């Protein structure tokens, strides 16, 4: 039987969505969910779904899609299986950008809220270029250099972020919980604020599978096959950073999703980025929704930041990939 990767990942996403809407302090059954989505059903439940669970689930889904899609793209761009928005420091850079925007002016207004992803994007882009130039040796970016530069820059950005928080008002200090990775309470407005970044960023990545395939052969061969390498790489870096910034702006720093999901898909279906990117986007959404459900129920009624769940699963996975890459040179 031929595997149907798109069908199965859509089904997984659908199941994760339903489960995420159902689970919480009150359980809402799929049948009641169906009624509510059609505009009928219990009014209290309807409020919970429309104002709390649905915006949170959508934000988490978009965040997972963005992190996983941009993770796959960074891996292709750097030709390195361990590139992840978190590990290469871009997520922390974006977080710093967001916190700078918040400490200048706590976002009470709609436009204040819109400024956060913009600041996150600018900081993410700066981070990518800094880490890229720190890690580069000639034409290649050795894994160790990339991760070391990413981790070093990440600690720098995180320290600066903590410093900004401690010297600021209590409102910004609340952002600490957000930074650990967890959907904010900004609801539909937050989704609206990041949507343009997501659509442009992920949209570009979704059509760039063939270009990413060519880049796997190295810059020389890619260009000899007809690709305008410098231009494409710049566009892809900007697109991946747009997606990362959109994810970080309201969901904080969530590590390893961008590593695990593309890697599993690669193991399953091979390296073709024309499939890898869209499946990473769908799979990333499902994976983060499931992590978020776990984050809500493990210590219920208390919630833990979803970034803790992804790190608990992701760090051992990262070590496994690292060993595997070392032993087999395969990715």
Partner 1 sequence: MLKIQNLSASYNGHQVLHDVSFDVKNGEVLALIGPNGAGKSTIIRAASGVIQSTGYIRTNGDDFQSLSPLQRARYLAVVPQAISLPPAFTVWETVLMGRTPYLGFLGQASAHDEELARQALSRVNALAFSDRRVGELSGGERQRVLLARALCQSTPILLLDEPTAHLDLQYQVSLLELIRELAHSEDLAVLIALHDLNLASHYADRVALLVGGHVKAVGTPREVLTAELISDAYCLPVQVVAHPFLDVPLVLPDTNK
User: According to the binding rule CB under 8 A, does residue 207 interact with partner 1?
Assistant: yes
Asked whether 176 and 99 are in contact (CB, 8 A), the reply is no
User: According to the binding rule CB under 8 A, does residue 138 interact with partner 1?
Assistant: no
Q: What are phi and psi of 279, to 5 degrees?
A: -70, -35
In whole angstroms, give the CA distance from residue 61 to residue 296.
15
DSSP secondary structure letters along 59-103: HHHHHHHHHHHHHHHHHHHHT-TT--TTTTTHHHHHHHHHHHHHH
In whole angstroms, give the CA distance from residue 148 to residue 129.
15
User: According to the binding rule CB under 8 A, does residue 5 interact with partner 1?
Assistant: no
- Closest approach, Cβ 320 to partner 1, in A, equals 18
- Tokens standing for 17? 């969505």
Contact range with partner 1 by CB under 8 A, out of 98-106, 159-167, 209-217, 235-243: 209-217
Residue 88 or residue 214: which is nearer to partner 1 going by CB? Answer: 214
Helix (H) or strand (E) holding 320, with range, is helix 306-328
Residue recorded with tokens 């891996």: 75
Please select the residue that binds partner 1; options are 48, 87, 214, 279, rule is CB under 8 A.
214
Please select the residue that binds partner 1; options are 216, 275, 294, 313, rule is CB under 8 A.
216
CA quadruple 68, 70, 73, 77: dihedral positive or negative? negative
CB atoms within 10 A of CB 16: 23
- Per-residue x/- track, 238-277, partner 1 (CB under 8 A): ----------------------------x---xxx-x---
User: According to the binding rule CB under 8 A, does residue 324 interact with partner 1?
Assistant: no
Residue 48 or residue 212: which is nearer to partner 1 going by CB? Answer: 212
Q: Which residues ranging from 271 to 290 are in contact with partner 1 (CB under 8 A)?
A: 271-272, 274
Residue 119 or residue 214: which is nearer to partner 1 going by CB? Answer: 214
Residue 60 or residue 222: which is nearer to partner 1 going by CB? Answer: 222
User: According to the binding rule CB under 8 A, does residue 228 interact with partner 1?
Assistant: yes
User: According to the binding rule CB under 8 A, does residue 330 interact with partner 1?
Assistant: yes
User: According to the binding rule CB under 8 A, does residue 223 interact with partner 1?
Assistant: yes
Asked whether 303 and 53 are in contact (CB, 8 A), the reply is no
Asked whether 283 and 204 are in contact (CB, 8 A), the reply is no
User: According to the binding rule CB under 8 A, does residue 226 interact with partner 1?
Assistant: yes
Residue 219 or residue 303: which is nearer to partner 1 going by CB? Answer: 219
User: According to the binding rule CB under 8 A, does residue 229 interact with partner 1?
Assistant: yes
User: According to the binding rule CB under 8 A, does residue 213 interact with partner 1?
Assistant: yes
CB atoms within 10 A of CB 302: 7
Asked whether 180 and 305 are in contact (CB, 8 A), the reply is yes
Residues that bind partner 1 (CB under 8 A): 207-211, 213-214, 216-221, 223-229, 266, 270-272, 274, 329-331
């Amino acid at each position: 039987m031929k595997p149907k990767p798109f069908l199965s990942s859509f089904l997984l996403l659908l199941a994760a969505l339903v489960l995420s809407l159902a689970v919480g302090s009150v359980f809402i059954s799929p049948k009641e969910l169906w009624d509510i989505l059609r505009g009928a059903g219990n009014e209290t439940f309807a409020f919970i779904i429309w104002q709390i669970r649905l915006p949170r689930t959508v934000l988490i889904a978009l965040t997972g899609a963005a992190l996983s899609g941009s993770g796959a793209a960074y891996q292709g761009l750097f030709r390195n299986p361990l590139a992840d928005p978190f590990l290469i420091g871009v997520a922390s850079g974006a977080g710093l950008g967001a916190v700078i925007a918040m400490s200048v002016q706590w976002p009470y207004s709609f436009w204040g809220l819109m400024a956060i992803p913009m600041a996150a994007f600018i900081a993410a882009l700066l981070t990518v270029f800094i880490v890229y130039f720190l890690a580069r040796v000639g034409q290649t970016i050795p894994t160790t250099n990339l991760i070391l530069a990413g981790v070093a820059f990440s600690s720098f950005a995180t320290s600066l972020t903590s410093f900004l928080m401690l010297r600021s008002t209590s409102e910004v200090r609340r952002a600490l919980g957000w930074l650990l990775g967890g959907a904010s309470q900004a609801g539909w407005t937050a989704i609206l604020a990041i949507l343009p970044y997501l659509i442009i960023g992920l949209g570009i990545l979704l059509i760039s599978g063939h270009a990413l395939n060519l880049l796997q052969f190295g810059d020389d061969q890619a260009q000899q096959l007809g690709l305008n390498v410098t231009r494409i790489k710049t566009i892809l870096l900007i697109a991946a950073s747009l997606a990362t910034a959109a994810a970080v702006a309201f969901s904080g720093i969530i590590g390893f999703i961008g590593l695990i999901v593309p890697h599993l898909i690669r193991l399953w279906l091979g390296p073709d980025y024309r499939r890898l990117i869209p499946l990473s986007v769908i799979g990333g959404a499902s994976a983060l929704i499931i992590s978020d459900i776990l984050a809500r129920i493990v210590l219920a009624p208390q919630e833990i930041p979803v970034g803790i769940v992804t790190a608990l699963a992701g760090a051992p996975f990262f070590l496994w990939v690292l060993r595997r890459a070392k032993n087999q040179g395969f990715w």
